[in-house]
Structure 1
Amino acid sequence: MGSNSLAEYVHLLNQLKSYSNIPQDLISSFRHYILLIYGSDQENKFSEPMLWIGIYIALASLICVFAMIADLLHGFRSRKLWFPCKYFTLNAASLSVIAVAMKLPVDLNNSMPGHVDQAAKLGSMAFMCTMMTNLLPSLATMNSKELFTNIIALAILKSKQILELKYQAGHQTALRDLQPERLTFENLKQHVSNYWIMARTGSPQFISACHATSSASGVICAASTFIHIRIVYMILCLSTRDYKSDYKWSMLVIFVIQSIGVILGTIAPLFRCFACLSFKLTKSWIWNHINVFKVEKYWTQKLSDWKQNSISFSSRSRKYKIVIHNLKIIVLRFCIGIQKTVVVACKVLGLFYLLFVICGMQCFHCWRSLKAMLVASGILVIQNPQQPEQNIDLRRYVLQLQDDMELADKTLKNITKSVNLVIVNAENHQPNNLMTLLVQSNGFAGVGEYDSFHVPPLTAVRYLNCWSLPLVTLTTIAISLPEIQNDRVDNLLISVSEGLAYVKLVEGSLNTTNDYVRIQKAAKMLWLEVEFYNRWLGKKLQYHAPGVNRAPQILQWFRDEAQNMVMEVEAMDIDGSNERAICANSMYRITQTILLLNQGNIDEVSQEDLFTRLSSMISDILAACLTNLPLVIAMKCHESVIEKREASVLAAAQLLGQTREIINTLNAREIPNLNTEELAFIENWRRAYLMHPFPPNP
């Protein structure tokens, strides 16, 4: 009747009263339906927002589908076929979206009379299974407090502790293997490969994906997907697309989006199971999974430790302590039993997929045997057959939860290939402009010459030196010379910009005290002003005071301006933290040092001579700083946080590839007689130069 059905019904009753041949008892009986019609009108009014709620469910489902597809593409692109969770992870935001997407299964008030309505509600259950399976590896990224709330996840928390102990042992082994005083490119490449193997095999998401729970979830996901496909086929066969619930046409949208999510979301779990089984498909591993009633210790180790530990009580009652202790043991025994039951059930489910994979692998081995026979008989010819690589030494760095388990040789070989591929790809992005600048340097003399100990300090505050600040200051002077061609100035700017990217890595790894961080912050601020705005502390470069156009005059102008700035902020700069004072002090000392070095013939120095001298100092300082790159790469390989190790080793591999030419070039030079820790600080280089001036390298 529409939204005004009650008014129409009352009007109809009034019309019936006007007819004398209609019994009054019949009209009275019709009046009893007024309340029912009123209730129906109110229900229709209250159900109007359900359409918008359905649209929200569809949008939330679409977000989940996009996140699962992003993880799928990320796994294929990075060759991580266990598909770690990078975008679709468990956090506050994703849980909110999932809660909206799962509105239909928990909606018990609304009837689902239409075929599409019923299919959408059942499809939401399959969509939920798919999302849970895709989210399972993300449990490994949680910290210990988050994992504490999940009994099943306690196995992951014990797994992390086991892997951490084995990683520390591998870390010590890798340090012992890294013996050479000067780290060469090949030494570093092997060092990165060792840590890459530890990071990959000890990845929490990789271990989680290889658990029996992951195999079982993959089987459940595949079964639910098969059932859902049958439902989709039945809906497509129906001639009508009926949706009669309060959600109206939004049910069809929900059904389509979640069906796509179920089908696409099943790809990652199936590939994950297959990949993890093939990664560890050895005889011992297969036997361990066929023996389904064997529950490894790490599944229940944490609960067993809690059961054996005592609980401290504030009460002095001995009976009360005994009761609580016995109750704790009963509860933990029950939890251990549940844990073992779940693990056995997961292993039983995983057997189905294990048998399927074993059959597939046997077919693959049969094909390889047939191919070998054809090659031996001369029917099939293979060009340049690859010889199997020996991975005996690399196995020392493979992290396994159980000592009796082994990683498949092919998997270990693929892991090594992957890091080599990262290094090779990074080698294609060498900092060519920086290399051109470094070639101009034939030693490290500029490190000792840019700042003389004979220049008295301006203030009582002692400003430290870092690598980046003198580089920025020297570059500022060089690009301010108006007679130098623009292309040479631009090349210097680009070269220094490339170099500072690596200098910051050195400082961020080796010069990390608060005093040095303060200087680095000032240098970063100054470089931003110089590179983007062509200014030095607010003063436009190449536009000096009137009459200042010769090289000595430009140096004196910078010196005087810097001296005035330091004096202006001296009263406020009590602790030496003022960034303008830090930058001005560096400019004062460098310009005064250059003037002192050329005191006898300062008037004869041209802008071309000064630019060449400044460029030489810059290249020498960059070269000295970048001799620390091998140590930085070695340090980047080791990461204390288990969830960040793989990304840290990846960054080390990329840095190694990008700086291959720099490392090889600088390794051929003779460095000062300083230990590895002393080489990280520019002040130590200056003192070493004062004692024994650096000779030029041949």
Structure 2
Amino acid sequence: MGYNSTQNYLKLLAQLAVNENVNHDIVSSLIGYVKPIYQSDLNNRYSEPMLWIGLYIALASLCCILAMVADLVHGLKSRKPWFPCKYFSVNAASLSVISVAMKLPVDLSGSMPGDVDQVAKLGSMAFMCTMMANLLPCLATMDSNELLTNIIALGVLVITMVVNVCIQIETGVISYKEDAHLLKTVAKKYDLESLGINKYRNTIIATLYVTLLLVLLIIHVCSSLAILKSKQIIESKYQQGHETASKDVRQSTGSVLTIEKLKQHVSDYWVMSGSGSPQFIIACSVTTTASGVICCLTTIMHTLTVSWSISAMLKEHYDSDYKWSTVVILIVQFIGVILGTVAPLSRCFATLSFKAVLSSFGETTENLELRRYVLQHENEMELAERTLEGFSKSMNRLIQKGEKKQPNNLKKLIEEKSTPGFQGVKKFDNSHYVPALLSEVEYQECWSLPVVTLTAIAVTLPDIEKVEVDSLLKSVREGLEYVMLVEENLNTSGDYVSVHKAAETLWQEVDVCHKWLGDKLQDIASQVNTTASQVERTRQIVQLFMEKAKIKIKEGVSSMDIGGTNGDSECKSICANSMSRVTRTIINDKEIENELFKELSSWIADIMAACLTNLPQVIAMKCHSSEIEKREACVQAAARLLGETKEMINTLQGHDIPRMSPDDLPFIDKWLAYLSDP
């Protein structure tokens, strides 16, 4: 099936051989053409997948375009006219996709005789110039090792492409030397221009693209060196600003960080992270302006080239093995060149508006305060007033966005159930003596574990309206998100890690699976005597949890005695220990059995409220990061958190917060000690 020409030719030779009227010398000479015909059949067969390869090239190009458009949309949405790279950046994955998209100019052996084929090859080079201009800001997001690795990889790709294109110019794959020579020899009467062939035009355009690619590569290398030095300068200035800003939020005993102070603190770091953002720094550089100009020139050249080939596309002048897929590649990459030019060109104009020589006339007092935290090089002009105001507005928008996601269920629980001074922190664990069995497991107390333990008991109690249970679960679900955030930031010593992990695992089991350490809560509830009074059934539920806790503790101790410390066994022991202490407290207090659900809800509200008094400290901490590449994301997270919790913070600060040392506030055991003996 794949060698029809060869088979037909051999049949013809066989017929001639048996024909007595045909000279045998002629047949012998014709046999010499079998090999080239066979090779032609082989080439045709091997070129069959090239159509799909062409579509694969177009798909890879489309992926690059979508990433550039995503960055464009992100820049517009976040109102950053320097369009920082978030989705399209230099890494192993993107370079692999780019190398696929650049197959046409890299291909040395593929013949591209048609006008459309030639323009598609030139268009790939234009597309590469556009992508390099878009990739420039992403270099600032890398550390020195990543920067070196990725620049070398990009350099290898660009240099390989440039060398291959130069070879193709010389061999005539781009310049039409072979086609032109053939036409001159066979049909001298034809005018090459009338055939749409210009052996010099494509050579000149390809040479220009090669030059621009090399210039862009030099720009990337120079920018990389400048980035390393700029980061050192900015880092020094950031540390000065960090020290100044930290002084404003240092707490003394009994003092609180108000929303106004927190907002000012976030604003200070927002300006430092924005003006000191590596991508913002490189966006303000002359290399970015140069890359934008090159990108603009590339777009103009490619637009003209495509306009000259419109008639060729309509006449289907594509004669390569890629067939009609070259048209798809040409169209997709042309769209990429056009769309990829909004961002680099905008950076050129935006750079002019970022910096301006300003006098203090007309500046607001707020902006004068913020200007202290602007990070810039010594020889740079001052940040324009409009740019500074833009930083403040973008922060306010993010805070407002966070305000739409406030934990209303948690806020309602704390407002309705918490007690003055958060006495539930002391009440939930009044066990003064610990049995010998429990002493086998020692752990630091944390905020989240007792909340999960109390919730597991509360949602299992009999005769409680479903709406109340659901409301408590929603409140705890919202609250634990912030409680665990406090623990992750303020309870970071090794002693707390296993307890935090145990609490997180247990909560997933209680909330999602409705179980406690493998036992279904519904099965526990079904074991009580249904004929008994509500108080008696409540007591039975608590006792069942206590008995199961003792069993789990014994299993954990036995497991550790046999095989050493086991993560799962340790987690179960910690959770069971917490349940044992809580249930003992409940059983020892006969007065709370009548309204146990209400009492447990109050304890849960007090524990979470006491923990969340540390939210201002967490927000202040999240503003700062020691890694320059992560500072912008950190302060954005702090702004969102401030928006989400500002009403909660105001509510908590309206309570009677114990006058404890700020260093003790993050730890529940310090609260227990203070409330027991204030």
Q: What is the TM-score of this pair, normalised by structure 2? A: 0.81
Q: What letter corresponds to residue 471 of structure 1 in structure 2? A: V
2:51 corresponds to: 51
What does residue 665 of structure 1 align with? 651
Amino acid of the structure 1 residue aligned with 2:628: I
Task: Give the drift of 1:576.
Answer: 9.2
**Quick check: 2:459–2:469 contact (8 Å CA) kept in 1?**
yes
| Equivalent residue, structure 2, for 1:185 | 259
Structure 1 residue 133: Cα displacement: 0.9
Match of 1:429 among 405, 413, 423: 405
**What is the SS of the residue equivalent to 2:605?**
helix
What is the 5 A alignment of 1:348-367?
none
Distance 1:191 1:198 in 2: 11
Q: In the TM superposition, what are the counterparts of 1:123-272 in structure 2 within 5 Å?
A: 123-148=123-148, 150=151, 151-152=221-222, 153-179=224-250, 181-238=255-312, 239-272=314-347
CA distance in 2, matches of 1:104, 1:662: 59
Give the AA of the match of 1:452: N
Contact 1:559/1:588, CA 8 A, preserved across alignment: yes
C-alpha contact (below 8 Å) 2:81/2:347 kept by paired residues: yes
Spell out the pairing of 1:469-488 with structure 2 (5 A cutoff): 469-488=449-468
**Matches of 1:389 and 1:236 in 2, distance apart?**
59
Contact 1:115 1:241 in 2 (8 A): no
Correspondence for 1:503: 483
Q: Is the 8 A contact 1:148 1:154 kept in 2?
A: no
Q: 1:579 aligns with which of 565, 571, 591?
A: 571
CA distance in 2, matches of 1:179, 1:80: 32
**Stretch of structure 1 that moved more, 400-409 or 654-663:** 400-409
Matches for 1:260-409 after TM superposition, within 5 Å: 260-282=335-357, 390-409=366-385
Structure 2 CA distance for aligned equivalents of residues 35 and 460 of structure 1 = 87
Aligned equivalent of 1:454: 432
Moved more, 244-253 or 491-500: 244-253
Query: How many corresponding residue pairs?
Result: 585
CA deviation vs aligned residue, 1:447-480 (integer Å, no higher than 9, x gap): 1111125132422332321000111111111111
Q: 1:612 to 1:576 in 2, by over 3 A?
A: farther
1:669-684 pair list within 5 angstroms: 669-684=655-670
1:591 aligns with 2:569: no
Q: Distance in 2 between matches of 1:420 and 1:583?
A: 42
Shift of 1:273: 2.0
Change (3 A) 1:256 1:676: same
Q: Quick one: distance in 2 between partners of 1:579 and 1:402? A: 55
Counterpart among 482, 492, 496 of residue 516 in structure 1? 496
Show the counterpart of 2:107.
Answer: 107
Residue type at the aligned position of 1:545 = Q
Structure 1 CA distance for aligned equivalents of residues 557 and 492 of structure 2: 26
| Partner-residue secondary structure (3-state), 2:558 | coil
Contact 2:542 2:587 in 1 (8 A): yes
Letter in 2 for 1:237: S
Q: In 2, distance between residues paired with 1:45 and 1:450?
A: 80
**Structure-1 separation of matches of 2:527 and 2:13:** 101
TM-score (norm 1): 0.79
Q: CA deviation at 1:390?
A: 4.5
Residues 407 and 478, structure 2, Cα contact 8 Å, conserved in 1: yes
Amino acid at match of 2:643: G
Where in structure 2 are there 5+ consecutive unaligned residues?
152-220
Q: Distance in 2 between matches of 1:558 and 1:18?
A: 102
Helix, strand or coil at the partner of 1:459:
helix
Q: CA deviation at 1:26?
A: 6.9
Contact 1:565/1:581 (8 A) holds in 2:
yes
CA contact (8 A) 1:58 1:257 kept: yes
* Cα distance, 1:473–1:7 mapped onto 2, change above 3 Å: closer
1:642 pairs with 2:634: no
Q: Per-residue deviation at 1:22?
A: 7.8
Distance of 1:260 and 1:3 partners within structure 2: 40
| Aligned-pair CA distance for 1:28 | 6.6
Note if contact 1:450-1:590 (Cα within 8 Å) is conserved in structure 2: yes
- Report the AA paired with residue 241 of structure 2: G
SS at match of 1:90: coil
1:245 and 1:64 mapped to 2: Cα distance?
25
Q: 1:494 Cα deviation (Å)?
A: 0.6
Contact 2:431/2:584 (<8 A) preserved: no
1:269 is displaced (CA, Å) by 1.0
Find the aligned partners of 1:20 and 1:586 in 2 and give their Cα distance. 107
Give runs of aligned pairs for residues 517-532 of structure 1, distance below 5 A: 517-532=497-512
CA–CA separation in structure 2 for the residues paired with 1:32 and 1:532: 79
Q: CA deviation at 1:590?
A: 1.1
Aligned partners of 1:274, 1:70: CA distance in 2, in Å? 20
Q: CA deviation at 1:162?
A: 1.5
Aligned counterpart, 2:216? none
Instruction: Write out per-residue CA displacement over residues 532-577 of structure 1, whole angstroms, 9 at most, x where no aligned residue.
Output: 2222222232525342752333222322222232223223346696
Q: Deviations over 1:387-440 (max 9, x none)?
A: 956411111111112354210000000101110111122112221111111112
Partner of 2:555: 568
> Could you say what secondary structure the match of 1:570 adopts?
helix
Q: Identify the range of structure 1 (255-264 vs 456-465) with the bigger mean alpha-carbon deviation.
A: 456-465
For 2:154, the equivalent position in structure 1 comes to none
Higher deviation after alignment, 29-38 or 136-145? 29-38
Is 1:413 aligned with 2:389?
Answer: yes
Q: After TM superposition, give the deviation of residue 580 of structure 1 in Å.
A: 1.4
- Secondary structure of the corresponding residue to residue 631 of structure 2: helix
Separation in 2 of the partners of 1:674 and 1:439? 22
Q: What is the CA distance between 1:166 and its match in structure 2?
A: 1.3
Separation (CA, whole Å) in 1 of partners of 2:315 and 2:67 = 32
Cα offset, 1:234, TM superposition = 2.1
1:489 Cα deviation (Å)?
1.0
Deviations 1:25-63 (A, max 9, x none): 877765554444344333323333322322221121111
Equivalent residues of 2:283, 2:351 under 8 A apart: yes
For the residues of structure 2 that align with 1:617 and 1:493, how far apart are their CA atoms? 14
Shift of residue 686, structure 1, vs aligned partner: 0.2
SS at match of 1:392: helix
Percent identity (aligned): 56
Where does the alignment leave 5 or more consecutive residues of structure 1 unmatched? Answer: 285-385, 693-698
Question: Contact 1:637 / 1:648 at 8 angstroms: preserved in 2?
Answer: yes
SS across alignment from 1:465: coil
What displacement does 1:8 show? 3.6
